[in-house]
Structure 1
Amino acid sequence: MTERKVAIVTGSATGVGAATALGLARRGYDLLINYSRSESEATASAAACREVGADTLLVRADVADDAACRAMVDAAMARWQRIDALVNNAGVTSFAGASNWDALDTPTFHRIFDVNVIGMFQMVRACVAHLKAANGAIVNVSSTAGSLGIGSSVAYIASKGAINSLTLHLARSLAPAVRVNAVCPGMITTRWFADGLGEANFQKLKAQYEQTTPLARACTAEDVAEAIVWLVDGARTVTGELILLDSGMHLGRTPSVAAAKP
């Protein structure tokens, strides 16, 4: 068994997943880098982790496939004989708009739940015995969609709400051996948003977000990764938390000084 800790980060080819993998590598973790489509980006993510001293394993797998989840975990155990952390980051959506119900057909709705919710649960189930043995941690990447009921589509909103509920359930049922938390970002300035919305709409939404949130900024992938790494490698008394990373969006628009005067 390796003396270094080991983490599995699903969907770690790009964006938040890649930034999280690199952040954990810098904290001394070896990494299983998972991807479903972006092989070249996943290879680059693994290379970045190796540059800071991590051993890496690259595994292509769709978390919606239970057999693939179990095979991924088996591969990590064969390589390192331990799993200390699981970051459930893999996710999909349809950028249909929350009010455009007719844009969502049944297969699309199912696919979003298959990856975002069932895939997350399948990864936990496959890892749980090893995480218990390591007194490990799980971090689920959720969204303000699940907390505030806003987001890219009804199916996505519902899936993130399910993740939040499952996070609370798992935190109770796996304590005290395993800590379970979720991060709930608002807007993130990653390719995922830009590709889904189109560049012009992305820039418009970003400007609006920065003008109306109390901290006047959107999250970067690194902002989200920083919180995830803390929940994995620190936060020893934190479990069952749904941490909003939304620059205070949930507080509502901050009144201007002039508007606040009597």
Structure 2
Amino acid sequence: MADTARRGDPGEPVAIVTGATGGIGRAIAARLDARGYRIVAHGSGTEDAGAALVTELGDARYVDADLAAPESAARIAAFAEESFGRIDVLVNNAGIGIPVPHRDLSAVSPEFFSRMIDVNLAAPWYLTQACAPALARTRGTIVNMSSMAASTVSGSSIPYAVSKAGLEHLTRLLAVALGPEVRVNAIAPGLVDTERTLGWTEIRDHVIA
């Protein structure tokens, strides 16, 4: 990523952070803001939280979009370029994870499985496609938010773990396809306490054990 930029510098870098109104995304947006990035903060159905977030950041815009819709990617990329004139970082952080016991195969409907793949795997692909030309011009960076569930027998559900495993391999493929102009990496955290996971008592107890 670019070094910390001076506020007001017309060349200061721009980061798109998806899922920016959630716990991890909000922290990422705040850290990038502190390093001098202008922020395009994405959320889905979180307009009030998005409006509050951008007031806390130095120079930020909020965009609301359902990432399961492929056309949302082009809209977010265009919004970033129209707002700030460039894209330096894409953080594919948005994701969904709904607890379903791995042994309960019948509890996973086709709609559930498709939604996991659409948001956790297809959306980062579509956003990368949409942002790749702008990122190549700035020699930018893509960071995909994976999970330990991508490489271990864990995760909130089997579809969730499968979607993250796909995201990690997508990261490897894109790193080769887009490099050296664009760097592509993934981060694979374990369970993180956020407002979404605080009620996951059974999963938290398992992780602690």
Aligned ranges 1:102-181 → 2 under 5 Å: 102-181=106-185
| Match of residue 40, structure 1, among 44, 48, 57 | 48
Q: Tell me, in whole angstroms, the C-alpha distance in 1 between the residues paired with 2:190 and 2:86.
A: 33
| Match of residue 69, structure 2, among 62, 65, 68 | 65
Uncovered stretches (5+) of structure 2, i.e. residues with no partner = 1-8
* Cα shift at 1:14: 1.7
Question: Do the aligned partners of 2:74 and 2:130 also contact (CA within 8 Å) in 1?
Answer: yes
Corresponding residue of 1:216? none
One-letter amino acid matched to 1:93 = G
* Cα shift at 1:40: 2.0
* Equivalent position SS for 1:8: strand
Whether 2:200 is the aligned partner of 1:192: answer: no
RMSD over aligned Cα, in angstroms?
A: 1.5
Corresponding residue of 1:252? none
* Cα shift at 1:99: 2.0
Question: Do the aligned partners of 2:14 and 2:86 also contact (CA within 8 Å) in 1?
Answer: yes
Structure 1 pair 33–133 and aligned structure 2 pair: CA distance change class (3 A)? same
One-letter amino acid matched to 1:167 = T
Corresponding residue of 1:89? 93
| Match of residue 20, structure 2, among 12, 16, 37 | 12
Post-superposition Cα deviations, 1:82-118, rounded to whole Å, max 9, x if no partner, equal 0000000111122112222111000110011011111
Q: TM-score if structure 2 supplies the norm length?
A: 0.91
* Equivalent position SS for 1:148: coil
Aligned residues: 201
| Identity within the alignment, % | 34
One-letter amino acid matched to 1:30 = R
More helix by share: 1
List, as ranges, runs of 4+ consecutive aligned residues in structure 1 with deviation greater than 2 Å: 204-210
Uncovered stretches (5+) of structure 1, i.e. residues with no partner = 213-262
* Cα shift at 1:209: 3.3
Point out the structure with max Rg over C-alpha.
1
| Match of residue 24, structure 1, among 28, 32, 54 | 32
* Cα shift at 1:205: 4.6
* Cα shift at 1:68: 1.4
Q: TM-score if structure 1 supplies the norm length?
A: 0.73
